Chains A and B, each alone.
Chain A
Amino acid sequence: MNKYKLALFFILIALSNASAQIPEVEMADALRENGKIYVVVVIIAIVFIGLAGYLINLDRKISKLEKKD
């Protein structure tokens, strides 16, 4: 009986170790939970859309110049 108890004990220790070793990888979960990440994304999108519009405008200006020549 004692042998079984000992075996059970070791199995339990092994199991608890195994579960402790699953790595908890740190990610920016809080930023996503409180929704502040959307503010950042909207700002990135505005900057990029602004730049894109500027580029398109520049392209059309060059096209006009090319037509003039």
Chain B
Amino acid sequence: MKGMWWKLLGLLLVLFSLVYGMLGPVQRLPILNETIRVLYYHVPMWFSMVALMLTSLIYSLKALNTNKLSDDLYAFEAARTGFFLASIGLATGMVWARFTWGAFWVNDPKLNGTAVTMLIYLAYFVLRNSVEDPFKKIRLAGVYNIFAFVMMIVFIGILPRLTDSLHPGNGGNPGFNKYDLNSDMRPVFYSAVVGWILIGLWITNLRVRYKNLKEKHEQV
């Protein structure tokens, strides 16, 4: 059980957000109504995606420094988990959009930016898997991953802020920016974000260990 505490902490934080997210008081806002609770379940997916892509970037930089394939593997698996969480974020967002905006997909800068970001990371996966030589793999994948991270920040962090977005809290929409995310909702939201980041890191950790075991097994 040693080294398990952060995994359990992640689980507890998410459990708290699941339970209290349904029961706790929320603001009564038009259009959003009860779907304001989606903040606790959908938005943490994106926060943890960004956290995992940042982890991936750090390990890519490390791999470029040390030339170790194990660091590069960690970068790859972190990006994979981030991509997985982004897919869940996209799916949950689409359901919510259908009932709030009337369509599964609208031309919102955040939606299109996310789609482009996911395509960029898909290209990263293809690129890394297509190179056999380990040293070339570390160089190419590492350098591309830096590019991918910068593009992600541009597409989901900067461009949506330059125009109006339909998302709550943007433009003139009812929602939760730092002024009106009230004190009832804030602790639940933050514990969901931290909890999901920890769980994302845990999934990455499991996959890396699985890949290492598999490689050992294949060598024997």
A residues apposed to B, CB below 8 Å: 23, 25-28, 37-38, 40-41, 44-45, 48-49, 52, 55-56, 58-59, 62, 65-66, 69
| Chain B residues near A23 (CB-CB < 8 A) | 30
CB pair B33 A26 closer than 8 Å = yes
User: What's the least CB distance linking B109 to chain A, in Å?
Assistant: 27
**Are B206 and A62 within 8 A (Cβ)?**
yes
Say which size band chain B's interface belongs to.
20 to 34
Tell me whether A41 and B23 are in contact (CB under 8 A).
Answer: yes
Quick one: which of B28, B29, B210 has the most chain A CB within 10 A?
B28
Query: What is the CA–CA distance of A59 and B180 in the complex, to the nearest angstrom?
Result: 40
| Residues A62 and B210 in contact, CB atoms below 8 Å apart | yes
What's the count of A-B pairs with C-beta under 8 Å?
A: 51
Q: Within 8 Å CB of B30, what residues of A? A: 23, 25
Interface string of B32-46 (1 = CB under 8 A from A): 011000000000000
Residues of A within 8 Å of B4, CB to CB, are 56, 59
Q: B: which residues have CB within 8 A of A?
A: 4, 7-8, 11, 14-15, 18-19, 22-23, 28-30, 33-34, 202, 206, 209-210, 213, 216
Q: Which residues of A contact B14 (CB under 8 A)?
A: 48
Cα A48 to Cα B30 in complex, Å, equals: 31
Per CB-CB distance, the 9 closest pairs between chain A and chain B, nearest first, are A25-B28, A52-B11, A28-B34, A41-B22, A62-B209, A44-B18, A41-B19, A27-B34, A25-B30
